[in-house]
Chain A
């Protein structure tokens, strides 16, 4: 019972951190109709920056700030240089982003080597009742909740309304005076920053290696597909659910099974969920039934 409670709490906290990356992905999809297959690379970048901060004697969560800045800047640059010219070709953009993710992996190998690293916990571990929680995880969870609140709040502000208008219909929004390309670049940058922050928070739980971004990429894709592409709250709920299921599978079976679970959920969600532009499956089913 205590073990189950521990798995439950850890799963929800981990799921919330993964959901942060997934919300970034869903924002990119919602505003730009682009599937960011380089999202995992940004998460890996954040994890490596957190690792570097622990090398300097700081806790991993302290790496979240430089990770956010690096992720946002790099993300905006990637959007401007590679995604914007391919805006009308979403599949090509996704494949080019996948290519960039592979290049990023080679960059991580060059910078931090091909061997794996682990991120040590620098802050004390708390014992709450019979639950063991690291201070870093609690801080991370608090920041994630605050970031979710900020995203939700931002969407109700005037610029947030412009963002939602751009997501609903880019052409109409542009006619109404919204600078859609700028909104898309900003969203891409912020979303990549969120992925990097998630990577920094998750780094103590992960084994850092150049290809470490692939598994979180599939987890994020599964969360987005289940929650509904472009839907922030759906993605948060799905993120926590998938994170919890993934942690439980990892604990009770073996770590590789959590990747299999994410992939199976992704396939099931894309195939069965008739939702939005990710597949136009609902209209398809109507066409062929």
Chain B
């Protein structure tokens, strides 16, 4: 019991670190870096709820992220609500993305889930890139150049503190979900869906709920990024953010929430600090994916090389 309490306290303390850093940072550039790092960490943590805890390997999690960002920009840009409310409404856009992805893939298996979610995000990106429409001030917006909005919060310090606070709250919320009854159901479904169904768990419903929750948090992260950047574009729906989430989870421990979020926070901060261009980032994510996929196999082979008899190869068997 004492150990459990210690672990819980340690986790809560860890969740407070981004907020502490945002409050402590004084340099404006550093504050800007921490803002984007916090938003990306929240986004990756949301993927981990569905991909890691839920075992539904979405390759199109950018749908929720981008949908949230578009919702925030449209609501704020059309003056339908003040910017803080618009950011919060990003949850609805992300949730809608989650409903779509969850609804279509709840009854599918892993590879099919990856395909369907990837195709849905790409479909949304294509559609977002096609439409242009009049905007306030007589501007024609949309298409591949995206939609602008006024940066919110206007100063870097407030933006960093807002993003840090939202990340802390989001991580605590995701950890709570993971250890709640719903989280247990999600983990049971991941472990053995047939057994879960036999025990009365409504497997498709649990999966849809997991997708919606993950989409809502991703939408909030997308809203934060759009507000901090002052723009949303179809690139937020592209393969890059989706791959980033998968790569971070694969490297830092899928299903732990805090591991992928911490890794995403650190790597985003480092890449922002070093001003690494987008194409280099995509290459890095690809290398991380390949390394995470092949690394365990290579390590196993290296550790067993020369110590055991080689297994019967197909040539030997034949």
Contacts and interface: CB of A to CB of B under 8 A. Distances in A.
B108 A98 contact: no
Nearest to A90: B111
Interface in B275-301: 279, 282-283, 285-290, 293-294, 297-298, 301
A263 B119 CA distance: 5
B50 to A, nearest CB: 14
A99 B289 contact: yes
Nearest to B123: A263
Nearest to A279: B112
Interface string A265-289: 0110011000000111100110110
A86 interface: yes
Contacts of A287: 194, 197
A77 to B, nearest CB: 14
Contacts of A165: none
Interface stretch (B126-134, B158-166, B263-271): B126-134
Contact of B204 (A91, A280, A288): A288
Nearest to A104: B286
Nearest to B246: A95
Given A82-B294, A263-B119, A279 B108 contact: yes
A288 B318 contact: no
A94 B120 contact: no
Interface residues of B, number: 48
Contacts of B297: 85-86
Contacts of A218: 119, 122
A184 to B, nearest CB: 10
A96 interface: yes
B308 interface: no
A257 B130 CA distance: 9
A279 B127 contact: no
Interface string B51-89: 000000101000000000000000000000000000000
Interface stretch (A3-11, A43-51, A134-142, A172-180): A172-180
A102 B283 contact: yes
A281 B108 contact: yes
Contacts of A66: none
A104 to B, nearest CB: 9
B123 A267 contact: yes
Interface string B99-130: 00000110111111011100110110011011
A267 B119 contact: yes
A93 interface: yes
B243 interface: yes
A82 B314 contact: no
A179 B317 CA distance: 9
Residue of B129, B203, B246, B294 contacting most chain A CB atoms (<10 Å): B294
Interface in A220-235: 221, 225
B290 A35 contact: no
A283 B290 CA distance: 32
A279 B283 CA distance: 30
B114 to A, nearest CB: 6
Nearest to B110: A91
Contacts of B203: 288
Nearest to B204: A288
Contact of A284 (B107, B111, B285): B107
Interface in A83-133: 85-86, 89-96, 98-100, 102-103, 105-106, 109, 114
B204 A35 contact: no
Contact of B318 (A35, A106, A178, A281): A178
Interface of A: 35, 82, 85-86, 89-96, 98-100, 102-103, 105-106, 109, 114, 174-175, 177-182, 214, 218, 221, 225, 254, 256-257, 259-260, 263-264, 266-267, 270-271, 278-281, 284-285, 287-288
20 contacts: A35-B115, A94-B111, A95-B250, A98-B243, A99-B285, A99-B290, A103-B283, A178-B318, A218-B119, A221-B119, A257-B130, A259-B126, A260-B126, A263-B120, A264-B123, A270-B112, A279-B109, A281-B108, A284-B107, A284-B108
